[in-house]
Structure 1
Amino acid sequence: MSRKPPPLWRAVLPALACLALAGCSSSPSSSGAVDAPSGAPDALNSPKEKGSRAANEPGSPESAASPTHVSIPSIGVNSSLMRLGLNKDGTVEVPPAEKGMTVGWYTGSATPGERGAAVLIGHNDTRFGKAVFHDLKKIDKGADIAIRNDRGAEMHFRVTGTETVSKKAFPTKKVYGSTDQRALRLITCDGAFDAQGHPVDNLIVYANRS
């Protein structure tokens, strides 16, 4: 009997650990980064490859309702959810700069409310000004995050903690790795700027379904 291969996210984590997250860019790049000089998580490491999710795997469009809206009353977030995939270089897409007030759901992660880690990505700032996650750093432990899906159901998540990390040391396994929790991760840019005007850190908010 052949040995069952490990989950794909686990198999590619060692390679991803060697990759630094791309900084925010002042102009579009080949990686799909958008021109957001002061606060976009332009290209995020991903533990999955395009097409790696099975059609009936929990969290796939065929097995679960798709999220369509997110609100965080405590910091004034009220946004539709756009779908994000992968760039050609394997990094996670982010919303385009002109949609800076829109949050994106990375479809390679779990569907919010299903077991696993669902990942939402939003800009801090873009060239157009303040963006949807500009005040994410103000969120408190215990804050409510509500997500509505295309079947009209609303799910609530409670913030369990936040973390600011260097883009050169992004905790890929912690954010994207397997979990039995019905978890949610919110990601944006944070921190000081490098010589090119790119934020050097990412802010990660962790939450579990309440």
Structure 2
Amino acid sequence: MPSLGLNFITTCPHCSTENAFFFSDSYFSISDRECTAALMCASTDCEKCIIVEFLFVAHPSTFNPNEMHTISSTDNARLMYIDHYPKSMDRAVPEYLPERIEQMFQAPMRAHRTRDYWLAISGFRSLADVATKEFEPPLSNKKLMARINALREAGQITPAMADWAHNIRLDGNDGAHDGEPFSEEESEELMLFTETLLTYLFTMPEKVRLARERRDIRKQPDT
């Protein structure tokens, strides 16, 4: 494996650090000039890798192996950037969300990626709270778990969804005020619950409405 100091700057898809510095001391040749390298994020809170594809504009033999060389897309780059992956670890936002809910979605997702699980869980709880209030305004004066139960009784969510809500830290009553740390698994589960809840409340009803609309259009006689 050839040895050469490489660096690359981009937003880290793992920790979301902007202009993060990635580095490596080796690369794999794909052809005479085209190569790929695994570069690690320099943030001590991350240290995860991305794969960068690049091209030697100048012959590899002209590079000093004791120096650090930048992979860049500029016109004068000696190491020409081709592509890198992953570019983002963002999860897809459920479709057809109200604008306010969609805007709230990314902050806890970003906190989860950066391992700030307290902030992530707080954000997911707030998102579930606001979403249930916006979906059914008459329930706004009830506590979140009471709203969840009412949505179950009205058939808006399944009994399994309501049971799920009761078995995670959705209402914030257990361990939220005694300094107990949250784990990655708890944050991940609350993230999955929130995504599923938004899908039940907003995405699926709109998809059904659009499907019925298309069906009605197809039933219309030709004029």
Provide TM-score, normalisation by structure 1.
0.25
Q: Give the greater-gyration-radius structure (CA).
A: 2
Choose between structure 1 and 2: higher strand proportion.
Answer: 1
Tell me which protein shows more helix as a share of its residues.
2
Using the size of structure 2 for normalisation, the TM-score is: 0.24
By relative contact order (CA 8 Å, sep 6+), the higher-ranking structure is 1
